[in-house]
Structure 1
Amino acid sequence: MTEDFGQMRELHPDRDSETLNLSFWPGRVPLRQRWRNNGLSADFLGDYVTTFFPLDDSTPASAPRQAQIRGAVSFVANELLENAMKFHDAETPEPITIQLSLDAELITFHESNAIGRAATEEFKVFIEHLRAADPGELYLQQLEHNAVSERSAGLGYLTMINDYGAELAWRFEPLDGGACRVTTQVTLKL
């Protein structure tokens, strides 16, 4: 049974939107080598989006706006890809996918990957905590926790919310063998 946390937007590409899809098969390359590819892929998505916000010499604000949008897209994409690579169940014959959709008002990311049963339950608990807490307070708590721990769970999501005003949602879809496909949706308003 499919389970949603937050409001999932269904993407319907049309003439007034742009969509870019990337797929990765982790396991082919060790995780450590994937980190570099994550950054390159995230920067590619950031550069791709900026082509829809060209610099305009007659509008001085266009350069900072373009840089802000590029930075936001690169950050979000990198965080989504790193989480996906870190938690993906390589035993499941599912790729990691990231889809970026751009329309007049929104930039929407859909990142999907497979996770095991135990990771699914743990992630749902984290999502419930994230959705119930004040994001600013939770961010400060997580920074304090990270100062004494090597684990930085959720800091990327909290940064998306606090620094970029992102809206997050998740969809869990069961797969054969007890695994689950989780789709993380991040929406940025333009």
Structure 2
Amino acid sequence: MAQVFGEFTENFADRSEYLVLGFSPSSLPIQLRWKTNGLSADFLGDYVRNFFPGDTSANLTKQAEIGSAVSFIANELLENAMKYSDESANQPVNLEVHLFNDHLIFLSKNSVSPKAITSFQSYIQEIITGDIGQMYIDQVEKSVTNQEEEKSGLGYFTMIMDYDAVLGWKFEESENDSHVTMVTTMIQLPL
């Protein structure tokens, strides 16, 4: 049975375009993955930017803003999906971007370790119910004082604070293996 947190929709009837990328999280060590994640995220930014044509400075500014937002969000989603995938599940990581008239939807899908599900869902509840502004400030302070901490936790907060993104998550059994839990993270970005 699927568990949904935040704002999660599966209605894609009015999308105009979409692109799906698939990755094998275990094909390269995570340190080598960072470069390919950035390249993939920049590709998505350039891809989406092309759907906002025009030669006026206002249109060029909007193109640049949208491309930058797409690159940032795609990179954060890929990094999280790769970093927190359950390697023993041998499941691919997928990243999708869907274009609508007034918004974009990003979906990342990856396996998640059974040991990490409870703490991840608790973290999600904090994001959904907490004061995002205060949580953002607290996390910035924490990351400044603890340089060695691998996960800063700023990605989701930045998406909400800087891009007015709406977040949602869906946890469900893998279609291929009922012992594997998959998490789909949805980011809705208004245009």
Q: Same fold (TM over 0.5)?
A: yes
SS across alignment from 2:69: helix
Asked if 1:20 is matched to 2:22, the reply is no
Q: Among 72, 76, 87, which residue is 1:75 paired with?
A: 72
Q: Among 121, 124, 130, which residue is 1:124 paired with?
A: 121
- In 2, Cα distance between equivalents of 1:90 and 1:55: 44
Q: Contact (CA 8 Å) 1:38, 1:81: kept in 2 or not?
A: yes
The corresponding residue for 2:100 is 103
Q: Contact (CA 8 Å) 1:170, 1:182: kept in 2 or not?
A: yes
SS across alignment from 2:185: strand
Q: What amino acid does structure 2 have at the position aligned with 1:112?
A: K
The corresponding residue for 1:189 is 190
Q: What amino acid does structure 2 have at the position aligned with 1:103?
A: F
The corresponding residue for 1:6 is 6
Q: Contact (CA 8 Å) 1:88, 1:114: kept in 2 or not?
A: yes
Q: Contact (CA 8 Å) 1:166, 1:188: kept in 2 or not?
A: yes
Q: Could you say what the CA RMSD is over the residues aligned between the two structures, in angstroms?
A: 1.4
Give the C-alpha shift of residue 154 in structure 1.
Answer: 2.1
- In 1, Cα distance between equivalents of 2:122 and 2:44: 30
Distance 1:26 1:103, change over 3 A: same
Matches within 5 A, 1:16-95: 17-56=16-55, 59-95=56-92
Query: TM-score normalized by structure 2?
Result: 0.93
Asked if 1:159 is matched to 2:165, the reply is no
- In 1, Cα distance between equivalents of 2:145 and 2:179: 34
- In 2, Cα distance between equivalents of 1:105 and 1:88: 31
The corresponding residue for 2:181 is 180
Q: Contact (CA 8 Å) 1:116, 1:178: kept in 2 or not?
A: no
SS across alignment from 1:91: helix
Give the C-alpha shift of residue 8 in structure 1.
Answer: 1.1
- In 1, Cα distance between equivalents of 2:17 and 2:39: 20
Give the C-alpha shift of residue 93 in structure 1.
Answer: 2.9
Q: Contact (CA 8 Å) 1:117, 1:178: kept in 2 or not?
A: no
Give the C-alpha shift of residue 7 in structure 1.
Answer: 2.2
Deviations 1:105-133 (A, max 9, x none): 11100100001111111110100111111
Q: Contact (CA 8 Å) 1:11, 1:101: kept in 2 or not?
A: no
SS across alignment from 1:9: coil
Query: TM-score normalized by structure 1?
Result: 0.93
Asked if 1:146 is matched to 2:147, the reply is no
Identity %: 44
Give the C-alpha shift of residue 55 in structure 1.
Answer: 3.1
Deviations 1:41-85 (A, max 9, x none): 0000000001101232xx321111110000000000000000011
Gaps of 5+ in 2: none
Gaps of 5+ in 1: none
